[in-house]
């Protein structure tokens, strides 16, 4: 590997890396010199086990291109699976530098039809599946820092426009992806002292999870540039996971096609202070005046 590669020497974990965005990220990291732990449980869109091992296929792709990679097939939404994921990086390559949390699936329903099982399953894989790998990676990095070996560590979490604006028929997914933003902000604040930066991306790309949506809304790709190709998101994810992103933490970025947007989330807008308790009608009058001064929120997807 030549010295100019952005991630040369770094060890990178990518969860849900057997297909779609995760596969694109894993290949992009390897192309920039990283040694990659390719995690994928090999399940279907609804989270049920699949018959093959997509993680191994991605590892073979990376090795065929001259890179280094190892497969991990554990369930990262369990303590054992998340711990073994981090252990795989450490036992194989002796270190861990970057964690990309990407694994997920969909169980879409309108709220009145959304079963408790569908809620729990999506929360588990997206939100818990971000928390547990982050927890175990962070414990390693904190121990390194306390031993005097402060890491140059990076975490890239995967949110969604559904988590930022909402998406009709995706109450479980939207809530989980919004939760990931909150987790990102807390982790960035807590882990900065240990040399860890934590950011999130909200990608828009054609994957197994979104292919029907984008087929309906985007039409066929234009000649020369497929704006919905998963690989379009990976350059930002690779840079955020590299040493070159020093000083960037606690941020959310939207990535789609050739566009990168810094998302600006909840912050104080227009305010009114009466200096005493409001009456209900007085509070209502004040709110209507404040709303007239406030920015109009973005439209919920599918509304």
Provide the residue ranges of all domains of the chain, joining segments of one domain with +. Answer: 11-263
Q: Which residues contact 130 (CB under 8 A, 6 or more apart)?
A: 101, 157, 158, 180, 183
Tokens of 96: 């861990």
Q: Is 72 exposed, middle or buried (0-12, 13-18, 19+ CB in 10 A)?
A: buried
Q: The pTM is what?
A: 0.90
Tokens of 33: 């010199």
Tokens of 102: 């990407």
Q: Is 9 exposed, middle or buried (0-12, 13-18, 19+ CB in 10 A)?
A: middle
Query: For residue 45, what pLDDT is reported?
Result: 57
Query: For residue 1, what pLDDT is reported?
Result: 42
CATH class of 11-263: alpha beta
Residue 6 backbone phi and psi in degrees, to 5: -65, -35
Strand 252-256, strand 259-263: pairing: antiparallel
132-171, pLDDT tens digit by residue? 999 999 999 999 999 999 999 999 999 999 999 999 999 9
Q: Is 127 exposed, middle or buried (0-12, 13-18, 19+ CB in 10 A)?
A: buried
Residues annotated as catalytic (active site), given as ranges: 160, 173, 177
Give pLDDT < 70 ranges for the chain.
Answer: 1-3, 43-51, 205, 207-223
């Amino acid at each position: 590997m030549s010295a100019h590669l952005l991630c040369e020497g770094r060890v990178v974990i990518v969860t849900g890396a057997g297909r779609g965005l995760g596969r694109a990220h894993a290949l992009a990291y390897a192309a920039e010199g990283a040694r990659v732990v390719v995690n994928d449980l090999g399940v279907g869109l609804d989270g049920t086990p699949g018959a093959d091992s997509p993680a191994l296929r991605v590892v073979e792709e990376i090795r065929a291109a001259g890179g280094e990679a190892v497969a991990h097939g554990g369930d990262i939404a369990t303590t054992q699976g998340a711990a073994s994921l981090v252990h795989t990086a450490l036992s194989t390559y002796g270190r861990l530098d970057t964690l990309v949390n990407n694994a997920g699936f969909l169980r879409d329903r309108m709220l009145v039809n959304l079963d408790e099982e569908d809620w729990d399953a999506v929360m588990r894989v997206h939100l818990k599946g971000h928390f547990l790998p982050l927890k175990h990676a962070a414990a390693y990095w904190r121990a390194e820092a306390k031993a005097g070996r402060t890491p140059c560590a990076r975490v890239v979490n995967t949110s969604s426009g559904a988590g930022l604006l909402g998406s009709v028929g995706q109450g479980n997914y939207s809530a989980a992806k919004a939760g990931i933003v909150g987790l990102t902000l807390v982790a960035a604040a807590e882990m900065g002292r240990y040399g860890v930066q934590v950011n999130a991306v909200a990608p828009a790309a054609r994957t197994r999870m979104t292919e029907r949506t984008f087929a309906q809304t985007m039409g066929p790709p234009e000649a020369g540039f497929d704006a919905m190709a998963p690989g379009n998101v990976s350059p930002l994810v690779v840079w955020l996971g590299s040493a070159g992103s020093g000083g960037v933490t606690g941020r959310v970025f939207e990535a789609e096609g050739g566009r990168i947007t810094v998302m600006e989330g909840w912050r104080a807008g227009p305010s009114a202070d009466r200096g005493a308790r409001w009456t209900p009608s007085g509070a209502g009058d004040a709110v209507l005046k404040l709303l007239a001064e406030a920015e109009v929120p973005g439209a919920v997807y599918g509304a």
